A and B are shown apart, each in its own frame.
Chain A
Amino acid sequence: MSTLTPPAGRTGCAPAAKTPANSSLASNRTDTVSVAPARRREDGAAGALPVLGHPTGRSSRFIGRNGAQILLQMLLEHGVTDAFGYPGGAILPTFDQLYEKQLNFILVRHEQGAGHMADGYARATGKPGIVIVTSGPGATNTVTALATAYMDSIPIIVFSGQVRTYAIGNDAFQEADVTGITRPVTKRNYLVKNLKDLPRIINEAFVIATTGRPGPVLVDLPVDVTTAKMEDPVDDTPNLPGYRIYKGGHSRMVKAAADLINASERPVLYVGGGAILSGAWQEVRALAEKGNIPTTTTLLGLGTFDENSPLSLHMLGMHGSAYANYAVQDSDCLIAVGARFDDRVTGNLKLFAPKAKVVHLDIDPSSISKSVKVDVPVVGDAKLCLRDMLLHIESRPRQAWLERIRQWKARFPFTWKDDSPLPKPQAIIEAINRITGGRAVFTTGVGQHQMWAAQFIRWNRPRSMITSGGLGTMGYGLPAAIGAQVGRPGELVIDIDGDGSCLMTVMELATMHQYQLPVKVAVLNNRFQGMVRQWQKLFYGGRFSHTEMVNPDFAALAESFGVRGLRCENKADVPRVVEEMVKHPGPCLVDFICETDENVYPMVASGKALDDMVMGVVGETPPNSGRDMGTLA
């Protein structure tokens, strides 16, 4: 046990743990894995812990090493190759270990950025994102990023420095009750008070962050723990008697779900971010195609289903497609996969999917019947549950239903009107979509530009849309793009951002420059907080209270950071500038000056039923598609 090397190609993430579907999954019990050592193991036997991918148990391999060395050693054992963070007094012992560059460490400019980078990295790669920051303000600056990751179930692990254990509670310099502050926004957090607990806690942190419904974990490391030397062998086996990892679903429920789907005439498959976390996109496609089931995704589910498929209903919800919303409301069987019936998806709950029986596949039992009453719950991993379910799904033509959907799709496509002197934001996103062919990793901030990106990019690959859904964190896009670029170095990564969102974390342009990460930032600059403006226009009589922005010259700002800065304010220049941005070999920001007075449609106003939409231009004009913007060779 003293020579632990991670198996080649190990992701350090949940999939490593998953067994392929086999007959044992069709057993009559819900299949779970418990993560607890055999009781009172003191014999040094290795605990078989499949979720970690390497053995654990009593080990001498840490003897003579200090806490910081053990942390680095274990990060490497867990297959960690990259980390993000910012140093400071209480975390210096750990940073001293990073001097040898065994990890690709990205120095950020604000700890919130480190958190979002780790989050973007995790979403882009499926591996947990690692953050290392100092105590007090260093740790509190990660809170927004932890909350973002918690809402969207993203595995990140934050290691924060802490003052010496004997100084805790004394209002020491840069002391904060970080475990207290972060408890509601982490899946689990730890204050390590004894070095002997550190190896076990690090293993637990990886297990908890990456398995089940993933989520952020914080480990608070007092400086005397990272400097203390390990004297004795320790057992690093996770001790999580209360932790269950759900795998295959209950076979009776899987069968019941399949029966309900087979019997339905107007089923709709509603796919969320859980399908990406589980790696279930092939199973989703198989289910949709076998049963001829129209498929819509949530914002976080974009990319799980190829939107070029005739079965695709694109995104649903507040700014989803009219046809997705109509289909859900008219459906007699709604199959939710890894989605949680968020209020932005359901509209008025009482009027949601009134004709539908609801099947809900989710790995988190607390998601079941939380807001929408579920008829057939299946608790388990989406991929495994779908595989089992597919065995029972019968092929059905469902021609009448598909025909109805074809008509809706033809009548109410996403569209916009080219009626302003300045380019419309949608035009810029359409150009980006056309020129990249959707073959890029996209991140966004939060607001109108985020919704237009969701609407006008034709999503066709999983892990290509990286956006803050649940928490709606403005400023997410730029650092998340940096994280995604670190995780997928060879790929084109584009942050579609708003002027308001971008400025919240714009200092990370320095990070982009320092590491020459060739991220592209497309700022849709309408000189307003567009989505708030839209609500003020529609619901507050056009009283634009504190939403107008006097912005810097974004291109000059980028240049001052050492990042290529471009500016585009003419319609005719949009395709050329997009192409120039995409082809620029290094980091590049484009300030797209665009029309201010533009709303996102369709829109389900707060409290309205999902099919009670403000349509705007949708359904009234033929779609704008077809204008030639050229494609990237």
Chain B
Amino acid sequence: MSEQNTVGAISQAIETARDAALQAIKSVSDLDALRALGVELNKKESLLNSFKSDMGKLSLVEDKRTIGQLLNAAATLISAAIETRTTEFTELEISNRIARESLDLTELLTQRRRGHSHIVTQATQRLEDVFVGLGFQIAEGPEVETDFNNFEALNMPKSHPARSEFDTMFLEYGEPGSVLLRTHTSPVQIRVMKSWKPPIYAIMPGRVFRRDTPDATHMPVFHQIEGLVIDRGITFAHLAGTIEAFTKAFFGEDFSSRLRPSFFPFTEPSAEFDIRRADGEWIELGGCGMVHPNVLLSGGIDPEEFTGFAFGFGIDRMAKERHKVGDIREMYTNDLRFLRQF
């Protein structure tokens, strides 16, 4: 056999072996078989590798190069084919696993989750946040109060006829008639005036008590929020401005407010404040006024140096109207079916 023929024959054989290897790679059925095949093809004794020893028999450098190149090309092709096949198998396995792991998430959706804050608490916090934004701090006081803080200091001495309007609940504690459940949050005003020094920009939310038989709109135990501002140069216009700013911040920009004259023993001039809904209807909201000089004096503040205003309204009603609760008593049944709605 001429050398020329030998080169041709080897080349032929390499190509055949290469094709056979590629075919084998193509037809393996799983990753393990592919790995085994790869090992097999890489062995020294493998068919393709056996041609490497044949190369030694060739004398011409040129021929050696030809065969060498051919072998390299075949090896590259084969290893690429193995890699492709490996990727195919890996991807297939992952997609099979994904299919196997299929999950119906709606089975896992449970009813129980975070608890529900009482709507009065929610309303209180919303109100607090609005006033904090207007530069107010929050003051608190006890629910059991002295007659002095609840009435006398608020310009309602013992004989004051307005006292009868408060339906006070008194306690069997100390002197008869001296200790009571606060009928409004106003005694906190006195506490604030005595313990803070002006300037005072404070709101006072809290629980209050009146001897009222419960009905759809009244509870003997309910909640109020009260505001108190005392500073130099505070005027009635500041009161109206604060009410307006609060109205817009809490209810929305399309709401407005008005003050109309009224009477409270602890403020003068006194006013009721109404808010006007976007549809034009006026809703009565609460009472307010300039702090009465006698009240400032009770709080140890000189009315000739400082002026101030106060305002207050019910929180329960806010919550009731926001959530369209028909009967205020529903808010206090502690029925979880009610509480979980909000």
Are A and B physically bound partners? no
Query: Which A residues lie at the B interface, using CB under 8 A?
Result: none
Query: Which B residues lie at the A interface, using CB under 8 A?
Result: none
